[in-house]
């Protein structure tokens, strides 16, 4: 059975904001786009910057170091230099809790 873990509360991440959550085995980037919560790997696959300190531009997050852009809905690279996308995780909302599930395949 798939397990989901509480990693934040809805109040922690207003619409249009991002939040880094230290979570083993890797930090998670939570993004609130139009009241929909997305969860991705926070580490840029180019040179390991934390994407939470980058910029959220609509449904895209821009890396603070060299400007790679990723689609938060599916983790795909929209703008290089990154060559690989981000892992995206299942998310469930229960009450005021954000629950992290397994990576989407």
Cβ count near 34 (within 10 Å): 8
Which lies closer to ligand FES via its Cβ, residue 10 or residue 77? 77
Q: Binding pattern to ligand FES, positions 1-40, x when CB under 6 A?
A: ----------------------------------------
By CB under 6 A, the residues from 37 to 56 that bind ligand FES are 44, 46-47, 49
β strands within the chain, DSSP E: 5-9, 18-21, 28-33, 36-41, 55-57, 60-62, 69-71, 77-79, 88-94, 97-103
Instruction: Single out the residue of 23, 59, 66, 73 in contact with ligand FES (rule: CB under 6 A).
Output: 66
Distance CA 98, CA 79 (A): 29
Q: Which is nearer to ligand FES, 81 or 102 (CB)?
A: 81
Strands 18-21 and 5-9: unpaired
List of residues contacting ligand FES (CB under 6 A): 44, 46-47, 49, 63, 65-66, 68, 81-82
């Amino acid at each position: 059975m798939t397990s989901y873990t509480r990693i934040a509360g809805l109040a922690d991440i207003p619409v249009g904001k991002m939040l880094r959550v230290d979570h083993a085995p890797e930090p998670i980037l939570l993004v609130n786009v139009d009241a929909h919560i997305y969860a991705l790997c926070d580490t840029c696959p180019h040179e390991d910057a934390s994407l939470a300190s980058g910029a959220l531009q609509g449904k895209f997050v821009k890396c603070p170091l060299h400007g790679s852009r990723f689609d938060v809905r599916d983790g795909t690279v929209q703008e290089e230099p990154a060559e690989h996308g981000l892992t995206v995780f299942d998310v469930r909302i229960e009450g005021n809790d954000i629950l992290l599930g397994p990576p989407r395949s």
